[in-house]
Amino acid sequence: MRFTLGVKSDPILYRYSYPWLFRLMADLGVRHLQLGTFFEMYHVPDSFFRRLHAQASDHGIAISSVFTAHRELGGYFQGDEWVGVARRNQERQIEIAALLGARSAGHNPGAVLRDRIGTKAEGWATYVHHQRELLHYAHSLGVPEVTIEPMSCEAEPPCSPAEQRQLMAELCEYHAAHADTAIPGYCIDIAHGWAGRDKQIRVDHWGLLEAGLPWCRELHLKNTDASYDKTFGFSPDERKKGVIDAAATRVWLEQRADVVPVQELVGYLEIGGPKLGRDYSDCELEGLLRTSLEHLNEAWLGGSKARGLQPASNIQWPATSGQWPATSGQRPATSGQRPATSGQRPATSGQQPAASNQRPATSGQQPAASDQRPATSSQPVLIAPSLMCADQCHLEDEVRRLESTGCDVLHIDIMDGAFTPNLVLGFEQLKALRSRTALPLDVHLMVEDNDLFVRLAKAAGADWVSVHVESCRHLDRTLATIRELGMKAGAALNPATPPEALAYVLDRLDHVVVMTVNPGFAGQRLVPSGLQKIRDMRSWLDHRDCHVPLEVDGNVSLAHIPDMVAARADILVAGTSSVYMPGASRADNVRLTREAIARGLERRHGSGARRGVAA
């Protein structure tokens, strides 16, 4: 059984946005979200949830579960008009789970009114009747599981071990007899213990957990005091007053793995957070989430998912190129593959990227990188997203998202405001990124003083450097210097510059950059001669027995990519008309980019070329 860590979204409600939470989760390597319900949820249109799914996907987050945050389904136990409201709300919750591609739609059943406790049996029958029908509804929408949270007082069934067994007996018997139903199960809160009116403990948290274990499909992770009166998280101060030991719980579950019905058990941190709506308290939420999740990363996951670098892209250069010299650019060490997320994504929203509980480290040593790409990919056309098109306020977050999609190279434009009338990225950003990613950094210099900027690029951690022949006073010497510094040397040509400008430096080149727009700004149209320039450059180089990769930069759009690849482009600098195209997630845009590459490869080599596209 594999243990996975997630977060329930309750504490950000009316405090922070979902993208804020997604960035925090991605930073901590937490890849599963349980979406907590909110009052407006049942009335918000489908478009909101499709957008939310795309935003989560963009950050490598799977919205694996949707779960009630209140007792809004309690109408089953109150009768009259309340039953219809509860039924409509739960149907909508299941629809939302389907829109998000969630594995489960879960809830707590609500409460019997204390002054009408004698109606509990009647409410139980009503509840079971509707749950049986809703198992069909969930299955019809592609939601695999409907989960229920066992509670901790007699007015909120199921509570006692006997009630837990009775409810699952009734629902599982029905599920076994009807193949067109979702799987019923429990989402167990490890901090629930049952105390009576006299505050004496009737069943502790271990007893309630054991009672529901045969039907446990997900968990809520939170802490509580010895009387099960208050709940909180796992910060150092909270652990001192709490009785829940997450590491001991994990070990206990491992010893009973044969009882648990799932192979992957997701535990969602569930905390309410600090006092809502106060300037002095809302700002504390990030710290509480971070400290709790960092503790659970060790205690719940046993340290096995401790944060570390994702695998380097380790490029295998295009088939047209010769052997590239080894680079001395330092890159961080890596630590393992990303496990795929469970649960299928809805067809309307594209594929969810593989997720894991790992992320690149923010500091540490940077051993030399390999130039061999993992055996899982043999794509001969590389995708190099241009970071000038990224969200500059969240640049590291953007890199995480690009890594999760399997992009190959990070393209970084450095300008001086003279050779090009613009200034975008600088060497401090490049230096900061170097310690945070294992992807190769491809620096495109659009400057007048190339020799100065080449050395600055080396000091900042660049792996590849390309200089413009139009501004390079001593092109041969500059290209030689790039190689001597241990980087791959490239020459970039503006649209009007002919291939012949490279005639006497071919032996100094590791790649050639063909500009299909005039340099300086994103979002430009392809120059009319752009595609012909790619074909002419490739032909000119081949006739001189120079088989270095051809990198194309400028309006590399989904519409133009097939033509560019057919013209034998090897590396695509992707920007606002492909990888960063608005209206879709990075994952969906990269998938569309790969599909466009595949169409170009079919035209270049025939239908057999599809084997060269990464899965």
Residues noted as catalytic: 413, 553
How many other C-beta atoms can be found within 10 angstroms of the C-beta atom of residue 474? 11
Phi/psi zone of residue 344: left (φ > 0), alpha (ψ -120 to 50 degrees), beta? beta
Contact (CB, 8 A) for 570 and 318: yes
Query: CA 214, 225, 161 angle in degrees (round to 5)?
Result: 25
Sign of the alpha-carbon torsion through 137, 141, 145, 151: negative
Q: Which two tokens stand for residue 299?
A: 């205690």
3-state secondary structure 249-278: HHHHHHCCCCCCCCCEEEEEECCCCCCCCC
Helices and strands, number each (H, E), in the chain: 17, 20
- Secondary structure letter of residue 366 according to DSSP: -
Q: Supply φ then ψ for residue 185, to 5 degrees.
A: -170, -175
E strand map for 122-250: 145-148, 183-189, 194-195, 201-203, 216-221, 223-224, 231-232
- For the stretch 150-183, what's the b/e string if a residue is b when 16 or more beta carbons lie within 10 angstroms of its beta carbon? bbbbbebbbbbbebbeebbebbeebbeeeeebbb
Using CB atoms within 10 A of its CB, is residue 428 exposed (0-12), middle (13-18) or buried (19+)?
exposed
